[in-house]
Amino acid sequence: MYISASSTISHQPTFRNNGFSWQLSQLKPASEPIEPDYSEFIPPMERRRMSPVIKMSIVCAIDCLRQAGLNQPDGIIVGTSMGCCVHTKNFLDKILTTNEGPISPTSFIVSTHNTIAGQISLLLKNHGYNMTHTQNSLSFEQGLLDGMLCIQDGYYNILVGGADEEENAIYNMKARLDDESVQLASGTSFFMLSNENGSGAPINLVDVGCFGLIDDSATLIMNFLESNNLSAGEIDLVLYSNTEHKKTDELKMIFGHRKILDYQKISGTYYTNSAFAMHYGIDVLLQKAHPAIGDRINNILVCNNLIPENLGLILLDNKII
């Protein structure tokens, strides 16, 4: 299964920037998302009521379509843990300020998790498959699995994205992760999954794994690799996230110290930042090298263990099938 287009808006210079993986450094405190000129993508009357996460998602979706040379995808799938949480807070605030009196239904409509996928569909006038997955830190991986199933079921091009915005008043991520040192961030990443290689530099989405309520992540990782006829020694780069030093030590034992990279240090922390890691991995594979690891990188494993009881795995390679 091919990834024919990728687009990310984040706190780093990732948007429309091929080779960005060579240009990134550790995220600075109190950074803001680097947003493009939205007027190129969204009409002003429609744009003025959109929250930042909606605008970022729409722009990434349109950018993927342009890269892939498509007018419409066959389906739109979004993974988001917190949805439009800024608007959710505004909606709850209005309920309180009106003493639970009547308020505009728009306040509710724009606050739901499926608003992101819905707004993309409305702007594109797309009437195809439309789905939102909200499974905590595994939301994006679940969306990828859904997209893979759609391709296997006969669809040609499926747009899959991960999107979350920073809003700590409702979702206290630092307390949830039991780590006050994490740097909260926002980000959106979208990808076009295709059943044909339409570009000159094929990137393959080999496999995706989602595991909840886990006890032994190391065994799950080894079993996942074995199911794809790979050993730990054959993996060229591991992009990981976790909040427990023990889990990092386990990865070092499996893959070695030199092969692993904590992508949260460059993406910041949000529940679907594994989508950022996937685009980062795609960029590395297109360059066939990494500034810290070296050249001859042919496959990458994204290991999302942000929440200790969840494990998401994404396997990518650049082999011509």
Residues 184 and 298 in one domain: no
Q: What is the mean pLDDT of residues 128-134?
A: 96
Name the helix (H) or strand (E) containing 304: strand 299-305
Domain end marker among 172, 194, 216? 194
For 279, the domain range is: 204-317
Residue 178, pLDDT score: 75
Q: How far apart are CA 196 and CA 193, in angstroms?
A: 9
Domain end marker among 164, 194, 224? 194
Residue 36 placed within a domain = yes
Residues 157 and 210 in one domain: no
Residue 59, pLDDT score: 97
User: pLDDT-derived band of residue 112, with 50, 70 and 90 as boundaries?
Assistant: confident
Residue 30 placed within a domain = yes
Residues 131 and 208 in one domain: no
Q: How far apart are CA 146 and CA 304, in angstroms?
A: 18
Structural domain count of the chain: 2
Residue 111, pLDDT score: 72
Q: How far apart are CA 287 and CA 236, in angstroms?
A: 14
User: In whole numbers, what is the pLDDT of the chain averaged over residues?
Assistant: 90
Residue 293, pLDDT score: 79
Residues 227 and 160 in one domain: no
Residues 234 and 171 in one domain: no
Q: What is the tens place of the pLDDT at every residue in 200-211?
A: 667 999 999 999
Residues 222 and 184 in one domain: no
Q: What is the mean pLDDT of residues 264-275?
A: 95
CATH number where 248 lies? 3.40.47.10
Q: What is the mean pLDDT of residues 240-266?
A: 91
Q: How far apart are CA 88 and CA 170, in angstroms?
A: 9
CA 310, 312, 161 angle in degrees (round to 5)? 120
Residue 10 placed within a domain = yes
Q: Does the pLDDT value for residue 9 go beyond 80?
A: yes
Residue 199, pLDDT score: 59
Residues 274 and 161 in one domain: no
Residues 186 and 211 in one domain: no
Q: Does the pLDDT value for residue 152 go beyond 70?
A: yes
Indicate the burial class of 140 (C-beta count within 10 angstroms; 0-12, 13-18, 19 or more). buried
Residues 32 and 75 in one domain: yes
Q: Do the beta carbons of residue 103 and residue 48 sit within 8 Å?
A: no
Domain end marker among 194, 218, 234? 194
Residue 166, pLDDT score: 83
Residue 169, pLDDT score: 62
Residue 92, pLDDT score: 75
Residue 171, pLDDT score: 64
Q: What is the tens place of the pLDDT at every residue in 29-65?
A: 888 999 999 999 999 888 888 889 999 999 999 999 9
Residue 233 placed within a domain = yes
Q: Count the residues in the chain.
A: 321
> How many other CB atoms are found less than 10 A from the CB of residue 293?
17
User: pLDDT-derived band of residue 320, with 50, 70 and 90 as boundaries?
Assistant: low
Q: What is the tens place of the pLDDT at every residue in 41-51?
A: 999 888 888 88
User: pLDDT-derived band of residue 125, with 50, 70 and 90 as boundaries?
Assistant: very high
Q: What is the tens place of the pLDDT at every residue in 163-183?
A: 998 866 666 777 777 777 788
Query: From the centroid of its chain, how far is CA 188?
Result: 6
> How many other CB atoms are found less than 10 A from the CB of residue 103?
13
Residue 284 placed within a domain = yes
Q: What is the mean pLDDT of residues 74-97?
A: 83
Q: Does the pLDDT value for residue 85 go beyond 80?
A: no
Residues 124 and 170 in one domain: yes
Residue 199 placed within a domain = no
Token pair in block for residue 59:
């722009």
Residues 186 and 230 in one domain: no
Residue 198, pLDDT score: 67
User: pLDDT-derived band of residue 11, with 50, 70 and 90 as boundaries?
Assistant: very high
Residues 181 and 282 in one domain: no
